[in-house]
Amino acid sequence: MKVPMVDMLAGYPAIKDEAEAAVKSVMNKGNFILGEEVARFEKEFAALNGSQYAVGVANGTDALRLAILAAGIKPGDEVITSPFTFIATTETISQTGAVPVFADIEADTYNIDPGSVEKKITKKTRAILPVHLYGHPADMDRIMELAKKHNLKVIEDCAQSFTAQYQAGGKVWKYTGAIGDCGTYSFFPAKNLGAFGDGGLVTTNDPRIYEELKALRNHGSKVRYLHDMEGFNSRLDTIQAAILSVKLKHVLDWTEMRNAAAAKYAAALKDVCATAIVRPNCRHSFNYYTIRFSSKAMRDNAQKHLTDNGIANQIYYPVSLHLQKAYAHLGYKRGDLPVSENTQDVVFSLPMFPELTDEQIRTVTDAVKDSVKTAV
């Protein structure tokens, strides 16, 4: 049996009528740019996420870029982030004229290690940009403590973590993106909340950042043809907002379905490889389900076996960013961030989507088990 990494059509029948009606409504009104559906979706998203404000933008990369600018990051400033993430996290730092500074990651969650972050703080540091990788929240208590101590902004990259939760201070459960100064989201179709194309959003509780974001996404304009600054053409399409409003009603149920699939993966593979952990003060959104092997040879053998048997899989991410050619000018070398470097060689991700069936899960886990047998 072939198993896809993501089946974006599996859940469509359940929302088909409502989604098509929402699109038709926008088309009949003809208000395609910043129509009322955008404001409605922003309000709905902020309410679910527990943030005061939400600003829809063109994509997840722009969400990062605009959040960095709105947070007041200037050329020459340093922003500490993870090397074990997609390049959008760091290219948006560089493209604003700031400098990405890489801290190592935790060996179990694969998120940025606050202990490593603390060692990287200098007089030029202005922000910490944690990535809630795969859907597991970063250690936000320690990150927020460091930010408060050193007067730093915190911009959360939530591209993979919408609906993930963190028990702040061991007391209050908060959604990722509602803890730092800003949270950034991607609505790329394969995400937990995916559009029918591109889309993104930024959350904040800061009214100044909110007003700045609204201007930045619309050519620096708050009043038409009056520009307080240069900005971008980065507005969330009205049609995408209408679709996302429909899907938002189902996203918590989909998260539960992802967690149920993750539990089945963990039960089947617990004696075969290291399965995804969930810390007691965290609730995972499982955008990806990632497993870890004891060696690169074991990982590569398992990945090849799955691929040969028609089972989709992916390494997120095969080369840590500090070792990529794009960042050679920063002067990092192998050995500088050993946990990230080891992790890139021993992990890969399995198919994950809400409608994953028991038969598909069994097909995947049987293949992983078989790969280990053939490697012995």
Report whether 193 contacts 45 (CB < 8 A): no
Tokens of 367: 């293949």
Q: From start to end of the chain, where are the E strands?
A: 53-57, 78-81, 99-102, 125-129, 153-157, 165-168, 172-175, 182-186, 200-204, 221-223, 226-227, 282-283, 289-292, 347-350
The residue ranges of every structural domain in the chain are 12-103+110-248, 251-375
Interatomic CA distance for residues 34 and 31, integer angstroms: 7
Q: Is the pTM of this model over 0.75?
A: yes
Domain made up of 251-375: CATH architecture: Alpha-Beta Complex (3.90)
pLDDT in tens, 181-224: 999 999 999 999 999 999 999 999 999 999 999 999 999 998 88
Coil, strand or helix: which one is 166? strand
Where is 49: in which H helix or E strand?
helix 36-49
In this prediction, residue 222 carries a pLDDT of 87
pLDDT in tens, 119-139: 999 999 999 999 999 999 999
With b meaning 16 or more CB within 10 Å and e meaning fewer, what string describes 85-98?
Answer: bbebbbbbbbebeb
Q: Among all chains, which residue has been given the structure tokens 């990651």?
A: 105
In this prediction, residue 373 carries a pLDDT of 84
12-103+110-248: CATH topology is: Aspartate Aminotransferase; domain 2 (3.40.640)
Per-residue pLDDT 10s for the chain (376 aa) are 999 999 999 999 999 999 999 999 999 999 999 999 999 999 999 999 999 999 999 999 999 999 999 999 999 999 999 999 999 999 999 999 999 999 999 999 999 999 999 999 999 999 999 999 999 999 999 999 999 999 999 999 999 999 999 999 989 999 999 999 999 999 999 999 999 999 999 999 999 999 999 999 999 998 889 999 999 999 999 999 999 999 999 999 999 999 999 999 999 999 999 999 999 999 999 999 999 999 999 999 999 999 999 999 999 999 999 999 999 999 999 999 999 999 999 999 999 999 999 999 999 999 999 999 887 5
